[in-house]
Amino acid sequence: MKNLIVVSMFLFSFNCMQAQKLMGFAEANAVKETEWEKKFDAQLDARNLDTWMKFLSSHPHHVGSPQDKANAEYMASLFRSWGYQTEIASYWVLFPTPKSRLLELTGSKPYKAKLQESVLKEDKTTGQLAEQLPTYNAYSADGDVTAELVFVNRGIPADYEELERMGIDVKGKIVIAKYGGSWRGIKPKVAYEHGAIGCIIYSDPEDDGYTQGDVYPEGPFRRADGVQRGSVMDMPVYPGDPLTPGVGATKDAKRLDRKDAITIMKIPVLPISYEDALPLLQSLGGQTVPATWRGSLPITYHVGPSKDKVHLKLEFNWDQKQLYDVIAKMPGSELPDEWVIRGNHHDGWVNGAADPLAGMVAVMEEARAIGELAKQGFKPKRTIIYCGWDGEEPALLGSTEWAEDHQQDLKQKAVIYINSDGNGRGFINASGSHTLETFFNEITNDVTDPQTGVSIRERKYANAVVNADKAARAKLLGNKYIKLGALGAGSDYSPFLQHLGIASINLGFGGENQGGEYHSIYDSYDLFTRFKDPGFQYGIALSKTAGRITLRMANADVLPFDFNTFYKTVNDYATEIKALLENTRTETETENKIINDKLYDLARDPKKQFKSPAVKETVPFLNFSNLENALTRLKDSAEAFQKLYGRASQLSAVKQKELNNILYMAERSLVYVNGLPRRPWYKHEIYAPGYYTGYGVKTLPGIREAIEQRNWKEAQESIDIVANALQSYTDQVKNGMSLLKEPKAY
Amino acid sequence: MKNLIVVSMFLFSFNCMQAQKLMGFAEANAVKETEWEKKFDAQLDARNLDTWMKFLSSHPHHVGSPQDKANAEYMASLFRSWGYQTEIASYWVLFPTPKSRLLELTGSKPYKAKLQESVLKEDKTTGQLAEQLPTYNAYSADGDVTAELVFVNRGIPADYEELERMGIDVKGKIVIAKYGGSWRGIKPKVAYEHGAIGCIIYSDPEDDGYTQGDVYPEGPFRRADGVQRGSVMDMPVYPGDPLTPGVGATKDAKRLDRKDAITIMKIPVLPISYEDALPLLQSLGGQTVPATWRGSLPITYHVGPSKDKVHLKLEFNWDQKQLYDVIAKMPGSELPDEWVIRGNHHDGWVNGAADPLAGMVAVMEEARAIGELAKQGFKPKRTIIYCGWDGEEPALLGSTEWAEDHQQDLKQKAVIYINSDGNGRGFINASGSHTLETFFNEITNDVTDPQTGVSIRERKYANAVVNADKAARAKLLGNKYIKLGALGAGSDYSPFLQHLGIASINLGFGGENQGGEYHSIYDSYDLFTRFKDPGFQYGIALSKTAGRITLRMANADVLPFDFNTFYKTVNDYATEIKALLENTRTETETENKIINDKLYDLARDPKKQFKSPAVKETVPFLNFSNLENALTRLKDSAEAFQKLYGRASQLSAVKQKELNNILYMAERSLVYVNGLPRRPWYKHEIYAPGYYTGYGVKTLPGIREAIEQRNWKEAQESIDIVANALQSYTDQVKNGMSLLKEPKAY
């Protein structure tokens, strides 16, 4: 309820400015905007999404494939036909593809892994064998290793602590990990840190196979021989071309030597199906796994090591490939140097219908509809840039190289980056910069859910209440506020938000589009139109939602950013961090007492191997005062700014422009020039992907990860760095305030 | 910590009475008792347990088998040889066994269930095919039914609510349920209440098969063709011979007509293996099951109905069988009319090594050792009665009929009933009357864990701390108090505690003896001695623990009952009940609002069948004042009694006897003559098996189940019945207090 009141109050303060209730619009402009949005909606046609997806997914379209280039040219020609200034921006990147792959179990029950997905008569593109990328993990090392196998659950650091307690060492071994629980690249990275010499990753049927539902083609879930391809580049260090960190991979860019590219995995890694995993898992001896490690194959899971050795041999073509980003601009009529950027990637691992085309075709329909409006006289105030990124799948290649290449312009001009990456039937999901939260809630009131006829916000609310546990439901009743998630990693917003400090949002529909086709040959037009969004109704809902974000950002008199929601969110993070430190302290005390009292030794089953953990260093107290003072100052300034906000519409055009500049540049002050410890490419002090989780976001990452790693000195330093960033941010808010107070400004 | 302080204080109050610190013993007697206990321990020999288990499990020994009778005679002759007055008490009971069993799937992929467990060369008794009871559920109805199949998860009432939301009706269908989540008899009972015409129960490998660990003979878990036999008689209504409720099933007892015996199941029921379940589950169509319903077979679980029909045909021999209870007495030297009863059953479903013999042989060794002490001059004050029950597996037949037959004597004379039912490696587990809790904690200090050398209490504590979740661990540190569980159903204490109101305790070791042999032909000597308690070290630990309970109860000057721990526990139950009512109220309000706001309809996937639940009646407020006043009076009396307790050792012998009588008769006042609603056999107002959970206890059952069933009138009536019972109990405590206050008593 608390949050809802905040929104209502905020909307109310805008109400003083305009009756039409559009955040950031003067009254008359809000009326116009609403009319254009009605016309925009009327333009949207699901048949276009269908046509384009059919074409774009007709052949495998990964980086370097003929269809990848053909798709870029197809899209570029469409954007041009809709009136956009369109170019294909090319970069040249390192993109390894398999030369040879071998995985076999030796010994008395030998098995050679199939490493091949089945052709299905029910799915017409599955038979394009010659064009498909084989099942592999991009940026694995070359290697030829033979060793015993150990099962490491999800392969995250906590799993290795558990293994240590069980007396299992992976040094010199090959590990097998289940997909899930972290971004896939974390698994080989942590395995390598623990001395493993090879890594196999498989899709357990519990996660996206028969346990979840009927497998393809009866249902959309992963077949026994379905494999999840994917990158294992160490993207939590930096994404993009591993040879050109920080700069665009233009033809002539200076490149690192491959051996010096720290984001390339150090050991061979191979993803396999559960059909191929079964004999390997059956070869494992040793203890049965902890209950939380089990999958749902019809076996007893053991940790290993295996009785027989496993042989893994991988060789890659380490080729440079050309990327084709499609960049389509509609210049702003009043503020051409303020850029509203909307993107989705177009490359897929194979035919890539759900990922990424379901999102890409919604973007295209948004662009087409706006093109139609332009023919009817519509002129966006700000410049709108539509982007179809190439090479997202291997390493956010297209977006990163373009953003690095255009970083000077982007730092000055980018107002917002709006991302999607696929789409399906269900509920709106969104994460992003918390300055955008109030604005996003407003948008969700204005889009109707195609299945129920209520707003997408009402449907999201119903889902949250119904699926909450019984204890939480009463509290949720009536609270329709949508809290934005924080952005970690996994799509093209990373270079914009985390490298350049551009406010970003990532959105899409889902929850009724489950399946197990992810990164396999079964992510096809046939599967998508049967199971994921038949009739593309949610494609249209995405066009309406992201289209409104784009249109309102492009046309607003005053940019609809909210410093208060940002303050509140960061203050919550700071509270979490302090609680984390306190919990770490009390848990360490308890754990040390348990160890010293020998309770682990007394509780353990003497028939099983077990090693009591070592006593840990006592957790010190840290000085949070700089952070706390910075937050107090931010709170005061943000609240004071809000009180004056009603006057913004009366500003002269020049001063309004100045204010807008302050509003969108505020996010830049959260960027720290030296970046995060050990990964300077990541410069945003509020949001980053976890160094040991990958996809999973770490908020206030410098502080949080230092505490998690028990690096107290670094934690203290990071507290002060964040405090400084918040101070710069507050200075921006104060500049805005001064401007609003200035008598000459009106 | 709170509880620990209570114990310490209590022990301290005894300390004033004796330096030796044995609860209920005067100082000099405590010294003697301790010496006898040392001699008792010295007598115990694991080789005896091994010898006896080998003999007793050498052939199937279910009710009616030759080995069942032979075992009773073998045990009786041993008890006699140890100096006990021994008899075999026989009863004649209805015990159905299979005449024919057929289960088949019809249609295009027909399957005929095997219904047969494999003979293993690694297990020498598995080949005794001619002697084994086939896999079946005793007290199933005869029947020949053909219908579509529906999967009902665990088959408890909540599962049928979920099915209703999914739009599935089981009327006229056969249901298939997973074992677990309730006592097995609940499944066909609830199925019948919902109109099903047949019930199949299978062992999902998630629960005790390969998911848990290696299957037999590699490990102890359930093989693909292993089946859990078991009774499905409606024992939550009454246990024992279905034809003689409330009276002993002597040869000439008046018997009901079989059709009038309400505890016999109304529909055919058959237990099957997961190998036999697989084709049936694969035949199911319809929606995929909710995530919490899944098992771990390598399929997608669907709710059904099945495409093809299932044919289930069962016919039984409805024979009367003779039971052989072994009853061995050592008369009390001073108080022969105060009985300390110690029992375990001896019948098994097949060879029954873990269940029941692991407990039975520990009981025998206790009896043998006490017999040896008697030869050295030991004379128990009170009468000790050792019991080896027959027919526990079908329906607690032997214990119930004996207890009903001897109810007049037992009501007057029984001080305590001490039960076990199997045993294995691990940690002490105990449930029982809460007057015994302080005494039980004392006992656990004095028994050493055979694997670690610390007391069984210390080891239990270490296990509780180490396995608690992180949030709970700090609170548990230092709290070594063992809270007794409450007794529900599932073994021979039921007639003593729940029908007659005799304070009871049930105990055993376990937690490192997991397996899936339960009620199958694999519960054998071979499996037990490999996996469950090799060397019978925990059998000896059970003898030491239960032996001490028996010896101290038999010899105490003042019986070691504690009214305070009883009060505190019941007060906690009353608090729980009030919270249950409040939670039911707020959850009903929330749920009704969710329904009225149509949130279920908005949140649901329109592509799936779904029915929003109906609005429920508002929960009224109930009058708890009688219960609250009764608890206050009990608290005051129990505390006042405790203050005077130190004087008990100074009482004259006559008055001490009077006090002891008050102490052990107090539990009788918790019995309500009319019993619980719809099941008058269950008369205890504090503990009962759940009407819809079976094994699971319901404390303050009259009130709790009425609230759960939303029967507000009955809930109010039950509150007043419980208040009256507590008032009678308090009167007993006051009688004890008056006696201690009486100047002439000393």
Tens-place pLDDT, residues A578-629 = 999 999 999 999 999 999 999 999 999 999 999 999 999 999 999 999 999 9
State phi, psi for B606 to the nearest 5 degrees: -60, -15
Alpha carbon distance A345, A324 (integer Å): 10
How near does any CA of chain B get to the CA of A151, in Å?
15
> Could you say which of B117, B148, B366, B392 is catalytic?
B392
Contact A462 B603 (CB under 8 A): yes
Strand, helix or coil for residue B620: coil
- Say what the pLDDT of residue A14 is: 41
Tokens matching residue B491: 């073994």
Burial of B332 (0-12, 13-18, 19+ CB in 10 A): buried
Contact A556, A442 (CB under 8 A): no
Average pLDDT estimate for A77-86: 98
3-state helix, strand, coil in chain A (%, to 5): 45, 15, 40
B174-178 and B149-151 beta bridge pairing: parallel
Contact B729, B666 (CB under 8 A): yes
Contact A522, A226 (CB under 8 A): yes
Question: Which residues in chain A are closer than 8 Å to B602, comparing Cβ atoms?
Answer: 452, 454, 458-459, 462-463
CATH topology for A95-318 is Glucose Oxidase; domain 1 (3.50.30)
Contact A211 B300 (CB under 8 A): yes
Which of A451, A587, A607 lies nearest to residue B470, judging by beta carbons? A587
Q: Is A392 a catalytic residue?
A: yes
The CATH number of the domain covering residues in A2-93+321-559: 3.40.630.10
Contact A281, A297 (CB under 8 A): yes
| pLDDT, tens digit, 9 for 90 and up, residues A103-113 | 999 999 999 99
Which one of A530, A596, A599 makes the best mutation probe of the B interface by having the most chain B beta carbons within 10 Å? A599
Contact B606 A294 (CB under 8 A): no
What pTM, to 2 d.p., does this model score? 0.94
Contact A602 B454 (CB under 8 A): yes
- For residue B370, CA distances in Å to A353, B387, B547 come to 78, 15, 9
Q: Which residues contact B321 (CB under 8 A, 6 or more apart)?
A: B63, B64, B92, B93, B94, B95, B391
Alpha carbon distance B735, B739 (integer Å): 6
Which of A210, A462, A474 lies nearest to residue B300, judging by beta carbons? A210
Tokens matching residue A261: 């590219």
Question: Which residues in chain A are closer than 8 Å to B606, comparing Cβ atoms?
Answer: 451-452
Strand, helix or coil for residue B446: coil
Contact B103, B272 (CB under 8 A): yes
Question: Which residues in chain B are closer than 8 Å to A458, comparing Cβ atoms?
Answer: 602
Alpha carbon distance A169, A286 (integer Å): 12
DSSP state of A481: -
Alpha carbon distance B219, B339 (integer Å): 43
Contact A477 B594 (CB under 8 A): yes
Q: Is A59 a catalytic residue?
A: no
Tokens matching residue B71: 């075992």
> Could you say which of A311, A346, A684, A705 is catalytic?
A684
Distance of CA B138 to the CA centre of its chain: 18
- Say what the pLDDT of residue A20 is: 54
- Say what the pLDDT of residue B680 is: 98
B310-330 and B143-147 beta bridge pairing: antiparallel
> Could you say which of A77, A81, A625, A738 is catalytic?
A625
Q: Where are the alpha helices (DSSP H) in B248-357?
A: 274-282
Contact A467 B211 (CB under 8 A): no
Contact B467 A603 (CB under 8 A): yes
Low-confidence ranges of chain B (pLDDT < 50): 1-19
3-state helix, strand, coil in chain B (%, to 5): 45, 15, 40
How near does any CA of chain A get to the CA of B361, in Å?
24
Domain with CATH 3.40.630.10 in chain B: 44-433+484-556
Residue appearing with tokens 């021999």: B317
Contact A298 B298 (CB under 8 A): yes
Tokens matching residue B150: 């529906």
Alpha carbon distance B112, A196 (integer Å): 49
- Say what the pLDDT of residue B489 is: 87
For chain A, give the mean pLDDT: 95
Q: For residue A411, give the nearest of A77, A634, A671 by alpha carbon.
A: A671
How near does any CA of chain B get to the CA of A221, in Å?
10
A64 pLDDT more than 70 = yes
Q: Where are the alpha helices (DSSP H) in B106-180?
A: 157-165
How near does any CA of chain B get to the CA of A430, in Å?
18
Smallest CA–CA distance from A210 into chain B, residue: B300
State phi, psi for B504 to the nearest 5 degrees: -135, 155
Alpha carbon distance A531, A358 (integer Å): 12
Q: For residue A93, give the nearest of A261, A254, A250 by alpha carbon.
A: A250
- Say what the pLDDT of residue B20 is: 54
DSSP state of A502: -
Residue appearing with tokens 């289960």: B103
| pLDDT, tens digit, 9 for 90 and up, residues A151-196 | 999 999 999 999 999 999 999 999 999 999 999 999 999 999 999 9
Domain with CATH 1.20.930.40 in chain A: 564-745
Tokens matching residue A227: 């494999």
Which one of B211, B273, B596 makes the best mutation probe of the A interface by having the most chain A beta carbons within 10 Å? B211
- Say what the pLDDT of residue B743 is: 81
Contact A166, A303 (CB under 8 A): yes
Alpha carbon distance B419, B406 (integer Å): 18
> Could you say which of B77, B81, B100, B625 is catalytic?
B625
> Could you say which of A392, A401, A442, A705 is catalytic?
A392
- Say what the pLDDT of residue B278 is: 98
The CB density around residue A670, as the number of other CB atoms within 10 Å, is: 22
Top-tier CATH class for B44-433+484-556: alpha beta
The CB density around residue A582, as the number of other CB atoms within 10 Å, is: 12
Average pLDDT estimate for A272-293: 98
| Element holding B70 (H helix, E strand) | helix B66-81
Q: Which residues contact B425 (CB under 8 A, 6 or more apart)?
A: B451, B509, B510, B511, B512, B513, B532, B533, B537, B538
How near does any CA of chain B get to the CA of A219, in Å?
10
Q: Is B625 a catalytic residue?
A: yes
Which one of B466, B592, B598 makes the best mutation probe of the A interface by having the most chain A beta carbons within 10 Å? B466
Q: What one-character-per-residue DSSP string does B138-149 give? A: ETPPPEEEEE-E
Question: Which residues in chain B are closer than 8 Å to A593, comparing Cβ atoms?
Answer: 477
Which one of B274, B300, B473 makes the best mutation probe of the A interface by having the most chain A beta carbons within 10 Å? B300
Alpha carbon distance A438, A442 (integer Å): 6
> Could you say which of B431, B684, B685, B718 is catalytic?
B684
Q: Which CATH superfamily is domain B564-745 in?
A: Transferrin receptor-like, dimerisation domain (1.20.930.40)
A12 pLDDT more than 80 = no
Question: Which residues in chain B are closer than 8 Å to A604, comparing Cβ atoms?
Answer: 466
Q: What one-character-per-residue DSSP string does A530-562 give? A: III-GGGHHHHHHHHHHHHHHHHHHH-SS----
Alpha carbon distance B55, B57 (integer Å): 6
- Say what the pLDDT of residue A219 is: 98
Smallest CA–CA distance from A607 into chain B, residue: B512
Which of B215, B461, B594 lies nearest to residue A465, judging by beta carbons? B594
Backbone angle region of B200, left / alpha / beta, with phi > 0 → left and psi within -120 to 50 → alpha: beta
State phi, psi for B197 to the nearest 5 degrees: -110, -5
- Say what the pLDDT of residue B505 is: 98
Question: Which residues in chain A are closer than 8 Å to B465, comparing Cβ atoms?
Answer: 594, 599, 603
